[in-house]
A and B are shown apart, each in its own frame.
Chain A
Amino acid sequence: MASASLDLIAASTQISQGAEAKVYKGSLTQGAPFILLKYRFKKQYRHPSLDALLTRSRVAGEARALLKCLRSGVNVPGVRMVDASEGILGIEWIDGKSVRKLLPGGAEDEEEEEDDEVLEENGEPMKEYGISVDTLMSLIGIEIAKMHLADVVHGDLTTSNMMLRLPKPNQSTTELVLIDFGLSYISTLVEDKAVDLYVLERAFASTHPDSEPLFTSVLTAYGTRLGSEWHAISRRLDDVRLRGRKRSMVG
């Protein structure tokens, strides 16, 4: 037996894989709620000691960002376990769907396994969540504003990294949850927050056809929630649109 956490991974069900990590659904003990395990596996192309160092600091960074968001009232999954030396982060399982799948165009290349589900829902994908597309956009704006007010910059805002939590029968409000803080960092700079919004704008444009009005309502809700800082960020966002995400680095 190599390590307890790897045994935990082995006993869990893999649900997805990326370049950086594999994602599993599992449980720590019988009867406990499900957790989502994000396993940053060993990278053979990196020197082992560099790999250990990077993995450790990324797991730690993601866990700390989540905790900071929780304390600041941003809807994010709670942290349930951390094993930084094995590269494992366990977070609360969110029952729901990614915003990407709920908006037109987002479900297109997801034909595997789920095709019947998608078809059935094509007409009214958001019916079971009880909100309109417009409300969804303002929820997105508010959640990002809350996060930026806490000086957390997400670093990878896309509609795939937002989920609508399936409302419980006794609860009337629908919750939008931000996920995947793997690229997040702390910053107070207007530039970083504006780029965060710009990245989302591009993600909207490339994933969901004719979505300009949608993103406009995201920004409206964001600006209202953010208050006085919005003016500066809005102006900077205009600059970023002209030059792109990277600031020109001359010299």
Chain B
Amino acid sequence: MDFFHFPHHHSSQSVAHFALFRDVKNSQALRKRIIAAATIEGADGDQEREAVNFAFIDARLITGRLHLQTAISQAILADSQGAIRTKSVHSEILWALNPTNNITEALRRYGVSDTTTDLIVVRVGEANLDSAKIQELMEEVVLGKMVPFSELKNITDWSPIKKYHKLIGEVAVQESKGNISRERAIVDNIVISTVAVKTVMA
């Protein structure tokens, strides 16, 4: 369990708690649950929506801590300006991660799918929320093993990342061929920058 504190954002959403889960067993059920929660009416619906009120991100597509931080911070920024393009700040994080403007595609690629086994779970909220409580809520929805975020380096899958960002033919990537650590550093920087620039890409 880890968090980002953005002191410049309003205290109602200045903290983002996040955790990395491995060996997730219930991804299919989780995906169905998130979709179902959207249509339940009344108090039950509110309760169910609150239970899944997180961003569930496929960890394979995240290159590192700064990548996640940039997506979260741009999503909170858009929300604070009333400029989110999706229904919530959490889905906005997924939208920010995907290089195109297609919301369905963003959710399908970066969200939880039936085969997801490694998940990053994010909750944007008030500065004074109790992190133990949030961890409890996360563990209630995700059946998996919470591991330190630094394990992400063993999970990141660079080939779909390059594919989704259309980087395979790009000069920067071609030039660093054969030098894996250099290529990854370059892809990491491009991917982070793409997230940051997203709101002003035509």
Alpha-carbon distance A11/B5, docked complex (angstroms): 14
A59 interface residue (CB < 8 Å to B) = yes
Q: Which of A1-41 contact B (CB under 8 A)?
A: 1, 3-5, 7-8, 11, 28-30, 32-33
In the bound complex, residues from chain B placing their C-beta under 8 Å from that of A28 are 6, 8, 69, 73
- Of B27-35, B124-132, B153-161, B187-195, the segment with at least 4 beta carbons within 8 Å of chain A is B187-195
A150 interface residue (CB < 8 Å to B) = yes
In the bound complex, residues from chain B placing their C-beta under 8 Å from that of A203 are none
- Minimal Cβ-Cβ distance residue in B for A12: B8
- Minimal Cβ-Cβ distance residue in A for B6: A29
- Given contacts A64-B197, A66-B193, A71-B167, A83 and B77 within 8 Å (CB-CB): yes
A72 interface residue (CB < 8 Å to B) = yes
Taken residue by residue from 1 to 38, chain B's Cβ proximity to chain A (1 for < 8 Å, 0 otherwise) reads as: 00011111110000000000000000000000000000
A3, A63, A71, A78: the one within 8 Å of B200 (CB): A63
Q: Is the CB of A4 within 8 A of B200?
A: no
B170 interface residue (CB < 8 Å to A) = yes
Alpha-carbon distance A71/B192, docked complex (angstroms): 12
Q: Is the CB of B80 within 8 A of A4?
A: yes
Alpha-carbon distance A4/B197, docked complex (angstroms): 18
In the bound complex, residues from chain A placing their C-beta under 8 Å from that of B7 are 7, 11, 29
Alpha-carbon distance A1/B197, docked complex (angstroms): 25
Candidate in B5, B197, B198 with the most chain A CB atoms within 10 angstroms? B197
Q: Is the CB of A81 within 8 A of B189?
A: no
11 A-B pairs in the complex with CB atoms less than 8 angstroms apart: A3-B81, A4-B80, A7-B8, A30-B5, A60-B200, A67-B193, A70-B189, A72-B172, A79-B196, A81-B70, A82-B199
In the bound complex, residues from chain B placing their C-beta under 8 Å from that of A66 are 193, 197
Alpha-carbon distance A106/B176, docked complex (angstroms): 34
Q: Contacts A4-B80, A29-B4, A32-B69 given; 9 further ones with Cβ under 8 A?
A: A29-B69, A56-B200, A63-B197, A63-B200, A70-B186, A71-B190, A78-B192, A81-B74, A150-B171
In the bound complex, residues from chain A placing their C-beta under 8 Å from that of B10 are 1, 4
Alpha-carbon distance A174/B76, docked complex (angstroms): 37
B66 interface residue (CB < 8 Å to A) = yes
With both chains docked as a complex, state the minimum distance between the C-beta of B70 and any C-beta of chain A, in angstroms.
7
In the bound complex, residues from chain B placing their C-beta under 8 Å from that of A85 are 81, 83
Alpha-carbon distance A59/B199, docked complex (angstroms): 11
B175 interface residue (CB < 8 Å to A) = yes
Taken residue by residue from 45 to 79, chain A's Cβ proximity to chain B (1 for < 8 Å, 0 otherwise) reads as: 00000000000100110011011001111000011
B180 interface residue (CB < 8 Å to A) = no
B43 interface residue (CB < 8 Å to A) = no
Q: Is the CB of A5 within 8 A of B8?
A: yes
With both chains docked as a complex, state the minimum distance between the C-beta of B182 and any C-beta of chain A, in angstroms.
10
Q: Is the CB of B199 within 8 A of A80?
A: no
- Given contacts A7-B8, A11-B7, A72-B171, A82 and B200 within 8 Å (CB-CB): yes
In the bound complex, residues from chain B placing their C-beta under 8 Å from that of A33 are 66
Q: Which of B69-122 contact A (CB under 8 A)?
A: 69-70, 73-74, 76-77, 80-81, 83
- Given contacts A29-B73, A67-B197, A80 and B192 within 8 Å (CB-CB): yes
- Given contacts A4-B80, A11-B7, A70-B190, A90 and B171 within 8 Å (CB-CB): no
Q: Which of A104-138 contact B (CB under 8 A)?
A: none
Alpha-carbon distance A78/B174, docked complex (angstroms): 18
Q: Is the CB of B69 within 8 A of A82?
A: no
A84 interface residue (CB < 8 Å to B) = yes
- Minimal Cβ-Cβ distance residue in B for A27: B7
- Given contacts A11-B8, A29-B4, A5 and B77 within 8 Å (CB-CB): yes
- Given contacts A1-B10, A67-B197, A71-B167, A80 and B70 within 8 Å (CB-CB): yes
Alpha-carbon distance A27/B11, docked complex (angstroms): 17
In the bound complex, residues from chain A placing their C-beta under 8 Å from that of B174 are 73
